Amino acid sequence: MDTRQACKFAVAAVIAAASLPALAVDWNTVASTDSQTVLVDRDSVHAFNGDVRAWVVHSYSHTESLGDMFPHRSKVMLYSFDCGKRELGYMQWSMQSGEFGGGQTVWADRVNHVAYYPAQGDVADMALVESACAIYAQKQSDGKLAVVR
């Protein structure tokens, strides 16, 4: 490789590396049981029209399904949280054949209107609401919160 090709390669590598942080996520475990691990992406927590939204991964130790359909090992979901009421609802989801969002997509969809439900009684849901709302509050107090309308 001559000097000119090496310079072109170096510039391309720098440009590629500079784009990586935009794709980076900061997954944090918020709940873990024998059957599942729940992670929230801290970087995705943001306010939208008075609610808090965040991307979440549910990873299962065994294959889950909806009845006889959509066997999956994980779900990647966009949740909306009402922190004042301690409620959550899902907006988008992708069920994946592998753990931690890996493998092939089994089913993906979204809803037009969030149907909130209380986190009471479900350890993972309670931990998820507490974590997302605490991350939101911390970002707000640090002045690092982007508000989307």
Query: Which burial class, exposed, middle or buried, applies to 88 when counting CB atoms under 10 A from its CB (0-12, 13-18, 19+)?
Result: buried
Q: What are the structural domains of the chain?
A: 25-148 (2.40.128.710)
| pLDDT (0 to 100) of residue 147 | 54
**Per residue in 31-48, pLDDT tens?**
999 999 999 999 999 999
Tokens of 72: 């999956």
Sign of CA dihedral 119, 71, 111, 103: positive
Q: How many CB atoms are located within 10 Å of the residue 138 CB?
A: 13
Give 10 or 119, the one with higher predicted confidence.
119
Determine which helix (DSSP H) or strand (DSSP E) holds 4, and give its type and residue range: helix 3-23
As a whole number, the mean pLDDT across the chain is 85
pTM for the predicted model, two decimal places: 0.80
CA-to-CA distance for 85 and 120, rounded, in angstroms?
11
Identify the residue whose tokens are 């399904």.
Answer: 65
| pLDDT (0 to 100) of residue 123 | 92
8 A C-beta contact, residue 35 and residue 115: no
Kindly give the pairing relationship between strand 46-48 and strand 147-148: parallel
Kindly indicate the confidence band of residue 143, based on its pLDDT and cuts at 50, 70 and 90: confident
Tokens of 141: 């107090």
Indicate whether 2 pLDDT > 90.
no
